[in-house]
Amino acid sequence: MRKNRLAKEIAVILVIKIALLLTIKAVWFDKPTIPKNYTPEVQQHLLGTDQ
């Protein structure tokens, strides 16, 4: 009985952690950022495009 309760608590904690990590990823890492003082070489390296 005690092992079953422990397993449920661990599962709930893991689900909460995964939800928080996915939220953080969606908020802060949704798109690449380009520095303000960049050169075309930096842009080529970061984004793989040539403009």
Q: Would you call 43 exposed, middle or buried from its count of C-beta atoms within 10 A (0-12, 13-18, 19+)?
A: middle
pTM (two decimals): 0.55
According to the model, what pLDDT value does residue 49 have?
61
Q: How far apart are CA 6 and CA 15, in angstroms?
A: 14
Residue 3 has pLDDT above 90, yes or no: no
pLDDT class for 42, splitting at 50, 70, 90? confident
- One DSSP character per residue, 14-51 reads HHHHHHHHHHHHHHHSSS----SS--HHHHHHHHS---
Q: Return the domain boundaries, the chain.
A: 2-47
